[in-house]
Structure 1
Amino acid sequence: MSVKHPVVAVTGSSGAGTTSVTRTFQEIFHREGIEPAIVEGDSFHRYDREQMRAALADADATGHTLSHFGAEANLLTELAALFRDYGESGVGSVRKYLHNDDEAKPHGLPAGTFTPWEDLKPGSDLLFYEGLHGGAVTDTVDVARHVDLLVGVVPIVNLEWTQKIFRDKTERGYSDEAIIDTILRRMPDYVQYICPQFSRTYINFQRVPTVDTSNPFTARTIPTADESFVIIRFADPKEIDFPYLLSMLHDSFMSRTNSIVVPGGKMHLAMQLIFTPLILRLMDKRPKRPR
């Protein structure tokens, strides 16, 4: 962990909603004049799109598990090294995964590939990561130990599947069979690599729908924010001003001494109220820049 060069990581599985949390952080950074170095978790996948297809075919032929959730398909050693190097000296090597033609065109590369590795631009105030493995720990790699603020985004599993299924059908044109195959293939890695991270986070945001999601494979819509509650769990509740949060977040309540429950429509406001002082605290600990 670092005082001079903080590392903030938002971790959650595919379809969990980490992108929405990232937008909230970006608003805070902009408002407070903070310059982040943004790192996307997809950039630390081991394989590009075509390589992953080939690797999956080999895995199927040999009967072993391979998914983007697991260590084998990701560069976790390199991710830990980035967090460590940035924390020590504000430097590190990154690249970008090009998801589609719009992202790929400015780089003159095909979609589904990576840009070349390059050094982070100097002068950033903190490193911000969003992806699958911000709190990952394996027998050989400990990514989580280098993170100063680790946030988990964890909708209950049926809602997570509903969000993924809906996105993969409407945005990517996947069939039900292909989506189910992906979910089943990822399950061992989900249990081994994704779930344990949420016991290492400083804060977890878990959205719980108040409508029936019993069969996510037949859902025609994603439950809205107003059809949900959000459980916010803190690892160290002594640092949190719960009376203030309860007064600012109408209809919220405490469910445990370390957890507050807020209406889903208040999630963005709750994140603003919680993250802003935490980020400013990280900034206040840094040595002042010479003028």
Structure 2
Amino acid sequence: MGKKEDALVALPAGSRLVLPVMAATGGSGRSTVADLLAGAMASAGTGTAVLDTAPRLSSPWPSWTLGQEAGGLAVLPPDRPLTRSQVQSAAAWRQAGRGAGWQVLTDGRDWHSPPLTLPQDPAAWLQLAAIGGWQAVIADTTHPVAHDILDARCAGRTGQTRAWCELPYAVPVLCAAATASGVQALQQAVMALHADGMPLQRTVAVLVAQTDGRLPAVVRAGATMLTSRTAAVVHLPHDPHIRTHGLRTASRLRSRTRQAAHSLAQAVLTAAGATWGMPLPEAPRPAPLAVVSPASRPL
């Protein structure tokens, strides 16, 4: 019998929580964490979506949403106004269990289709999510966190990491493999975040186990250090179904995997509440477009 999960607090109408899922290196379980987090947030009764910011042929999301009729990112014109129905219909659906579902905005076209030019500015992704009306927005990012921070500092510009962290009501989620090298990369990223004044007090760290059994001593020691630096540290256990079949179907996930996803969602909501209070304030809305009548147009 699995441990009974406390119900998550649903986000109030008008609020929006942005959860950029980031990592210092590849192979950190970032997309898996984004998927599980979205499922847990959807179970709380919120409109939830994952924004896939990766190029199509390097992303797992198109295969996880295979066979749906959603047009994806390719049908959203970048140079014209969008409606909520356009954005919603472009997103594919994922099942979260217990009857709950959530959506994914990805590029689900055939592999040989021309590449899309995806926006780099996190604010553009936030505006897209706001138009879609989602309250819990999980962004599966692709940039290496520590390198991005150092590169931005040397170039005297705002990097991707800072831009995601500074979005309204953003709770960063930082992933790493639960190995010696994974924890070392995560610790280095946390030091870079601290040196650059990033909001570690509302950042949640996730250690993704690669095998069953007890975590290595170096990983446990790293988790202890991270606990004092971040809002929370969540352990995601190894799940053979994910390793073998990926996350195209989630019906055979272990109960402890679902419990870890629930704990992650709870940690995110707790960090948000500690930062902005609960219930969350209303989120900013995109400015309405001015309607230009034919009579007012210049000749």
TM-score range, shorter chain: 0.3 to 0.5
Structure number with the higher helix fraction is 1
If the length of structure 1 is used for normalisation, what is the TM-score? 0.43
